[in-house]
Structure 1
């Protein structure tokens, strides 16, 4: 049988052809799938044990109707991977999906449905305004009970993955980094090639680029967006996801503290944004000289990077620091 591929063709001289994003929608969709098919998501068992009983059943069933256990789910649920979009803004965006996009995506769900599910999807197509409001409400309800409580450690893992891969691009080039995404992804003659089960397609990303989106919940494989108006997007499993990723924050912080010492652990944990030595000292309740010493130790270990901004020196986690914090927390 012929192998199937999606080839994302990139302009060889375009240094901006690859960018990274984070998608709360993708995480929520795969959280729903994990709850529908827990045997396929062993790395999520700890999270499921802690949060599945808190999820409102009716809201969950609205999302499960669209997302299903496998296969296609509406592109509009995951088409805006950025660095800035908040989960609340993501839910609000769902209320404003344009009529054409809503009909196209929901029709794809309809033709893949049968029985009671097909009837329910048809009702949504017949009442799009009501359906959009219902979907947005269910999205926010399930998010707030199932994903929001673990969003901080989950987001750290995503950002740590991006930091490591960005550094790999700088050191070895895009092609070398692409080879590390997943065993179904390879770099082939200026294109990102993804092995697929059902169809083949060539996607011209010249001018638009390709968005790479790591996922903590979606650990079962790679997923792609190829049809306009969505920007070409490849979702892949993030580095460092273990069965304990959703453990209690206090236990995780204690583990980092045991490794680095409480003061350095807190400095590193809070170093996701650039801060001056004075700000670090103020945030941690340390003397400036003590904070400076701890920062120097972290910098010498490669966990913190310090850069000059005019008269100020700003300290922030390095890619190695991101990877450590992501893996532990």
Structure 2
């Protein structure tokens, strides 16, 4: 199996980061998904026609989507984590463009298991893929990035909160399908038959995204990453957001709905977007829940994120029994 050997120092340095480029790569995956999830359809309806026109005029982009994006292995030069100081999309994209052509071709060959299409065997491959990702960013992600970043931050706060309660293994539970903490410093990242990698001295970062499956990545020798599907991005309310009738009678329908939706934690503006209520209305209801000690709050970057207290979790659990 694929194992990362992670000692206590690596765990102590591990952290969550955001990456506009990684999210753009994930968005490209959603745009090219032949079987999108039902909750993705409104976003796709707005952006898919333009995306199809973009592909129609670019044989390199079509070959990339039809071959590389259909594999289970993200090419390293595209999927690697941001480096320290890289917080803007343009910074990350410039590094991708600077990839040596032979490195890009080797990454693609590995991803396609030696069967890469001839359209991708070219010296300007890094630039052509960067051009495609730049289009996806400008036309489908950039204007929505502040909202996505807030939801990513909410996901991070939720996982840190869970880590504080239940330990590091709980925080990474379910990040990607095959990832498991096996104990004794062993992190299983997949079931592939590959030699274990010793991460001693390296940094491990965890990157939330809208990717359907997520992936692992590295920037050797000192940086490893797990890109994972964040909770709540583009998701419409589903069965998990159903409000117990008795809770609605106790708290009022709106406050009960807000309490149910705070999994993962969220900001006032995020909750307003999800419920259709005004920000001021959401803030008033959260103040009541805060005073009742059913929610608490903490700052994450520029946002204030609300999360359920242990009392609220117990109250909801009782309603579901």
Residue 227 of structure 2 aligns to a residue whose secondary structure is: strand
Distance 2:288 2:86 in 1: 31
Unmatched 5+ residue regions in structure 2?
238-268, 309-321
Equivalence for 2:297: 304
> Does the 8 Å contact 1:222/1:234 carry over to 2?
yes
What TM-score does the superposition give when structure 1 sets the normalisation length? 0.67
> Does the 8 Å contact 2:2/2:194 carry over to 1?
yes
Equivalence for 1:283: none
Confirm whether residue 232 of structure 1 aligns to residue 224 of structure 2. Answer: yes
Distance 2:74 2:93 in 1: 16
> Does the 8 Å contact 1:52/1:146 carry over to 2?
no
Residue 232 of structure 1 aligns to a residue whose secondary structure is: strand
Counterpart selection for 1:318 from 295, 305, 309: 305
Change (3 A) 1:12 1:229: closer
How far apart are 1:100 and its partner, in Å? 5.8
Counterpart selection for 2:3 from 7, 24, 37: 7
> Does the 8 Å contact 2:104/2:125 carry over to 1?
no
Equivalence for 2:120: 121
Matches within 5 A, 1:1-329: 5-12=1-8, 14-55=10-51, 56-57=54-55, 58=57, 60-61=61-62, 63-64=64-65, 67-81=68-82, 85-98=87-100, 101-109=103-111, 112-113=114-115, 117=117, 119-122=118-121, 124=122, 127=123, 130-189=124-183, 190-196=185-191, 198-216=192-210, 218-219=211-212, 221-225=213-217, 228-229=220-221, 231-241=223-233, 243-244=235-236, 253=272, 256=275, 258=277, 262-263=279-280, 265=282, 300=291, 302-305=295-298, 317-318=304-305, 320=307
Change (3 A) 1:179 1:109: closer
Distance 1:21 1:230 in 2: 16
> Does the 8 Å contact 1:264/1:298 carry over to 2?
no
What TM-score does the superposition give when structure 2 sets the normalisation length? 0.68
> Does the 8 Å contact 1:7/1:191 carry over to 2?
yes
Cα RMSD (Å) of the superposition?
3.7
How far apart are 1:149 and its partner, in Å? 3.5
Equivalence for 1:286: none
Aligned residues: 268
Residue 304 of structure 1 aligns to a residue whose secondary structure is: strand
How far apart are 1:226 and its partner, in Å? 5.1
How far apart are 1:256 and its partner, in Å? 4.6
Residue 8 of structure 2 aligns to a residue whose secondary structure is: coil
Equivalence for 1:278: none
> Does the 8 Å contact 2:78/2:96 carry over to 1?
yes
Distance 1:139 1:51 in 2: 14
How far apart are 1:223 and its partner, in Å? 1.6
Unmatched 5+ residue regions in structure 1?
269-292, 308-313, 322-329
Q: Deviations 1:167-188 (Å, cap 9, x if unpaired)?
A: 2222322122223435532211
> Does the 8 Å contact 1:74/1:105 carry over to 2?
yes
> Does the 8 Å contact 1:91/1:137 carry over to 2?
no
